[in-house]
Amino acid sequence: MDITKQQEIKKWFDENKVKYINFKKFEDDIRKEPYVTLFNKTLHSCMFNDCCYPPIRSHVFQEKGVMKSVSKNSRVYKPFYDDDSHSLILKDVTIGGNSARFWGFCDKHDKIFEEFESRKLLINEKDFTLQIYRCICRELSQIKDVIKANNILYYKIDKQIKKDVSNACLQHISEIAQDNDAILYLDNLVQTAVENCLVPVKQMNVKFERQRDKIYRMYCLMMKRITAKKYSFKDLYKDFYIKHISISNNTLPICVSCFVASINKKSKKLSYNLVLVISFPNGDNQEIIFFSLKSDANYALSFFNKKDMTDNDYIQLLEKITLTNANFWFLNPSYYDSLSDIQRAELNTKISQGVFEHNMNTIGDVFNFEI
């Protein structure tokens, strides 16, 4: 290939690469992954102690207890990614549908939750342990699927960009189609540019992989405790930090399960502090649970910035965490219907802003739950 042809290809590529190789074109696909239900049963097996049997759709929260208490006519609001507005919106779903379930446990092991499922209440330490365990399993299943989806998306974007750029260049400089050296030169230009473009996807997956590893560690330690011959809730304190707030004689129109993450700046390798936050109505009370590995206890404690926090302080904290970190939460339609049009618009705006910016300091009070 002569130098003139190489210069012509380079000139065309420099003028057009932004048009074809632009991460922002694919940013929506990346951002919506945690809200897209691509859970494929064939990719999963029962999560109880590495059981190899296929899973059923397991509830995260009790359908006839928690989910019923935050529902109206068996329907709840849940955040979904909207392709038209490129933002999160609340959609109403049924409490018995797949939006409230995950590929969790086989028929046999799903029955370990049967006792508190049937009585519709969590009344003892074993119940709460199993609820925490079930939430961890759901989060582990979710993050594994997001990593798989991002890998597939990376390959898809990589392949599509290369195809589009090559076809466009060949149309503009048709004679290079018969020049193997020219095609190889163009491919090298495209390969380098695409790799640079997709750095954010790789970085995101590294983040998710680090978080997955820590969630898996929590899962393994929970399995060790749950399957022990002599089980005691107190044993959890050997491995975990647990803060359980039970707000008596008051419930909120919401249930939520999510991890809050931050980079561990003290670690030499990239790692994350993780805290599982769970909240749900339980009879006449609202339960709020903060749960982490002992190694992340200081991060968990950083949420409680007042010496003597009131129930309303905990509720405001829960609101901020839900809006900035959670993709799995349900809101009672009765509460949503009670809002004015302006309040609903503000809520929907804050939902998208919060979950993509992850800044609890700027989100403000939106739900305004009070007791």
Residue 33's pLDDT is 58
Residues in the chain, overall count: 371
Q: Which is nearest to 204 in space by CA: 142, 155, 150?
A: 150
Residue 271's pLDDT is 81
Residue 10's pLDDT is 83
Residue 93's pLDDT is 92
d(CA 10, CA 87): 37
Mean pLDDT calculated for residue range 114-120: 85
Of the ranges 48-62, 121-135, 152-166, which one carries the lowest mean pLDDT score?
Answer: 152-166
pLDDT at 238 > cutoff 60:
yes
**What is the pLDDT confidence band of residue 306, given thresholds at 50, 70 and 90?**
confident
Render pLDDT for 266-304 as a digit per residue (tens, 0 to 9). Answer: 766 778 899 999 999 999 999 999 999 999 999 999 998
Domain boundaries, the chain: 37-108+228-357
Q: Could you tell me the pTM of the whole model?
A: 0.87
177: β partners: none
Render pLDDT for 46-94 as a digit per residue (tens, 0 to 9). Answer: 999 878 899 988 999 998 899 999 999 999 999 988 777 777 888 999 9
For residues 355, 356, 359, 362, the Cα torsion angle rounded to the nearest 10 degrees is -90
**What is the pLDDT confidence band of residue 27, given thresholds at 50, 70 and 90?**
low
Share of the chain above pLDDT 70, in %: 91
Residue 186's pLDDT is 81
**Would you say the C-alpha torsion 67, 70, 75, 78 has a positive or negative sign?**
negative
pLDDT at 240 > cutoff 90:
yes
Residue 7's pLDDT is 82
Render pLDDT for 168-217 as a digit per residue (tens, 0 to 9). Answer: 887 877 766 677 787 788 888 888 888 887 887 788 888 889 999 999 99
Residue 34's pLDDT is 62
CB 324 within 8 A of CB 357: yes
pLDDT at 257 > cutoff 70:
yes
Share of the chain above pLDDT 90, in %: 38
pLDDT at 235 > cutoff 70:
yes
Render pLDDT for 81-103 as a digit per residue (tens, 0 to 9). Answer: 877 777 788 899 999 888 889 88
Residue 325's pLDDT is 87
Better-predicted residue by pLDDT, 224 or 366: 224
pLDDT at 29 > cutoff 90:
no
Residue-averaged pLDDT of the chain: 85
Residue 1's pLDDT is 58
Residue 18's pLDDT is 74
The distance in angstroms from the start CA to the end CA of the chain is: 76
Cβ within 8 Å of residue 174, ≥6 positions away: none
**What is the pLDDT confidence band of residue 23, given thresholds at 50, 70 and 90?**
low
pLDDT at 15 > cutoff 70:
yes
Pairing relationship of beta strands 329-331 and 57-59 according to DSSP bridges: unpaired
Residue 371's pLDDT is 64
Residue 129's pLDDT is 92
Q: Which is nearest to 286 in space by CA: 314, 320, 324?
A: 314
pLDDT at 32 > cutoff 90:
no
Residue 43's pLDDT is 64
